[in-house]
Amino acid sequence: MIGTLIARDLGVFIRSRASVIFALSPVVLCVGFLVFFRQQTITLISDVITGPSAYAATDAWIFASVAVLSGFSSSTSVLIGFLEDRRSSRFSLQLASSVKPGQLVAGYLLSSVIVSIVVSLVISGFGQVYALLVRQPVMSINEWLTVIVAVVLSSVMFTGVTAIAMRFVGSQGALGAYCLIMGTVVGIVSFSYVLPSSDVTVIAGCLPFLQAATLVRHPMLTPVLNGLDAGSATQVLEALGASVHLGAVWSQPLTIAVLALWSVIVLVVGSLLLTQCLKD
């Protein structure tokens, strides 16, 4: 039953031009980043790394940042269908049959996670293809596995966050405001729109958006920085938001564990709120 609901929700998403355009909006962001932020970022890290390596590091940061932002936009675009169904009589008809509220919610959430994962990985893969074309270092299999884990966890987290918001969003106007405000917040605290600063790090380090971003950026930047000494590599990673931390040392396993905990919490809360929404 849940598989049927997932197929139905994915079909609705694909047929909705607005949802597809919103999900693919990170492609536009990627072009904008390459045009407006590339040289500025290269200048920032020029004291540590120069020449082709600086361009490679900046390009890796751009594609990693866009991959993270795409996780939010694509997960939200699928859940737009939940709002439309709630405002229509579709839920009433489905609940009158043998479909349970929890199954309806599970179908939407799993569809959202699937689309978010696919879009984020496609952006990441495109970044690696671009790196090959311009003869930049690319990720190893182990680094790819880290990115996949990060993308899966961040997709679950973004879906849970949007599910919580959907419980309180009742109109297209409110949804548009949520997407604008939340997209800006995610971009800032994950250091996708701005580069790390001490003022923002204290707040951002407590939120899952930055943890998701560091887990995607770190493996994408690692092959570029292999030729640097440990101190210089650390400087670049911190300057580009790939190892931002509140403690003494950035730890990949700890960051994964914290992001996984966040993902489970927000997804459970979001699913409970949406299920209660159907019962009201």
Position 152 pLDDT exceeds 90: yes
Position 193 pLDDT exceeds 70: no
What are the pLDDT digits (tens) for 65-87? 888 888 888 888 777 777 766 66
- Domain range list for the chain: 2-279
Sorted by sequence, the CB contacts under 8 Å of residue 236 that are 6+ apart come out as 45, 48, 49, 57, 221, 225, 228, 242
Triad 51, 57, 58: Cα angle to 5°: 95
Whole-structure pTM value: 0.84
Question: Given pLDDT bands bounded at 50, 70 and 90, which one contains residue 244?
Answer: low
Q: What is the pLDDT of residue 96?
A: 46
- Pick the range with the lowest mean pLDDT from 113-117, 118-122, 203-207, 258-262: 203-207
- Pick the range with the lowest mean pLDDT from 70-84, 148-162, 256-270: 70-84
Question: Given pLDDT bands bounded at 50, 70 and 90, which one contains residue 17?
Answer: low
pLDDT greater at residue 135 or residue 240 = 135
Do 186 and 209 touch, CB atoms closer than 8 A? Answer: yes
Do 47 and 133 touch, CB atoms closer than 8 A? Answer: no
